[in-house]
Amino acid sequence: MMEDVVDAYLAHRFRWRPVDATFMGAPGHDDRLPPVGPDLIAAERDENAALATRVAAAEGLHPHDRSVLLSDLEVERANLSARPRQHNPAWYTGEAAFGLISLLLPQSEPWRREAIGARIAAIPAFLQAGAAELAGRAVPAGWVARARAEAAALADFLRSDIALHPGFHAGWRCAAAATAFDSFVAALDGLPDADPACGAAHLAFLFKTQHMLDITPDEAVEAAHAAFARNTDELVAMARAIDPETPWQDQIAALSQIGPKTPDAVLDHYRALDAAARDAAEDAGLVTPERAYGLDYRVFPDWAAKLAGATYFLFYRSPPGLIPGQGSVYWVARPGADLSAHSTAMVKTIHAVHHGSIGHHTQNAAARRVPSRLGRIAGTDCAMGIAFQGALTLIEGWACHVEDLLIEAEGFYTPAEVLLLKSFERRNAASVLVDVNLHSGRWSQAEAARFYAEEAGFAPARVQAEVVRNSMFPASRATYWLGVEGIRALRRRWQGSTADFHDRLISFGHVPLSLVADEMTRAGQLRA
């Protein structure tokens, strides 16, 4: 029964979202894109409800799988009624783009030209059906802008750089697919604008049901507002202790000039800092880093160099949980004359720690060994985000937490790098404020953008994309800060060693943090 129910869920998931199957490593779906058409939203919702009834009655199901399945099905059912993904033009461009890209990544070697060709051939009908679904519908302008940018990038890719891929086949119908992206962009002209806010009630539902949080959105705003103010004061005091004459913003900006001196040194720089992070964490008794599962730092391949900047093409992507193989690839932006993007501080904190070494990479490797079948794959990076958003409190909470954790490894960070980390903490608190205030209707998109640019200090080029991300995925951006706070709270109550706490924390795989807290409580590992 246990296998039957999980398998039934995955069959349901992959029938409606076959690109997810490719990213997770499930066979049999690589030639398809999602079905779209009249009455299909209602049909998926009905199938979802029937499956939820079956899951609720199942015996012998792993408790985490039961919780995650019931949560995911309920949330998806609500979204299909109130905010169906099929009404977002960026969903169509994302699925079409990554339906193809997923088959071009190294995890898909050897290249299956027939499957790639089938996905390319499916793009025109998929985008045409999407345009019909969107016709005359009010859509948030930010979502339209993202879809336009992605479609333009894919049309250009299909007309040019796809030929640089080592598996390229001249028989693929690239020209027709490129034209289909052009036509889809044209179909977006004139769509009325819409408010992207999901509303206070739906936001509260996502906090409770999807993320299994015991805090309300309003309580989260109150706590994050206090943290934002406190972090601001801390940044001022920390900067004064380092250099009384230089504001914290300038001290952080100066870090961009410290790093490799030549483009040829960049890859070795990433690899050395990754190794240093693992060693520092282990030597300080903070966590057991993953060493057996490989992580290969490579410069973005020629075929993806332009495409990466315009799409959700991640530097580090969770390896397919159903066929994890022996390691994963970490893409490094192609070094140019300006090497500031590869500064020691950014490589150390974001690439080597947050994503590589003890961050997502160690967590993903640990997840592949857990008893919960969904706990192994819930953190899979799909076309527009992770497969099960409810796991974000642990997944992103962990990666942000370990950035700060290495402050406890004496000598790993410089004082200025610790200042940078404090700015990251402040930024995550700011994202809670935007997430909740935007979706509760208290802030407009313009107000959210102003706050990010003028108060939170986000780079101007990043502000609009961040607001659009907030608007498309309500509650998700808040989980970074809430996840870190939750992990810190558990650590304060933990009764064993630091390394044992962190190893135990990620031993449950990709699940909501609250399920981990319940397990630790039942095991008597937490102080009251």
For the question of whether the overall pTM of this predicted structure is more than 0.75, the answer is yes
pLDDT of res. 515? 98
298 half-sphere exposure, CB direction, 13 A CA radius: 15
pLDDT of res. 108? 85
Q: List, in sequence order, every residue forming a beta bridge with 527; answer none if it has no partner.
A: none
In degrees and rounded to multiples of 5, residue 78 shows phi and psi of -65, -40
pLDDT of res. 2? 54
- Gap between the Cα atoms of 289 and 286, Å rounded: 9
Listed as ranges, residues in the chain with pLDDT below 50 are: 1
3-state DSSP call for residue 70? helix
- Gap between the Cα atoms of 272 and 274, Å rounded: 5
- Gap between the Cα atoms of 66 and 53, Å rounded: 11
3-state DSSP call for residue 386? strand
pLDDT of res. 107? 84
Contact 383, 94 (CB under 8 A): yes
- Gap between the Cα atoms of 211 and 512, Å rounded: 6
Q: What is the DSSP string of 71-121?
A: HHHHHHHHHHHHS-GGG-HHHHHHHHHHHHHHHHSGGGPSP-HHHHHHHHH
Place of tokens 């879809």: 147
In degrees and rounded to multiples of 5, residue 525 shows phi and psi of -95, -5
DSSP 329: E
- Gap between the Cα atoms of 314 and 335, Å rounded: 17
- Gap between the Cα atoms of 34 and 129, Å rounded: 10
Contact 402, 361 (CB under 8 A): no
The Cβ of residue 239 has, within 10 Å, a number of other Cβ atoms equal to 22
pLDDT digits (tens, 9 = 90+) for 347-371: 999 999 999 999 999 999 999 999 9
pLDDT of res. 1? 46
How many whole angstroms from its chain centre is CA 123?
Answer: 24
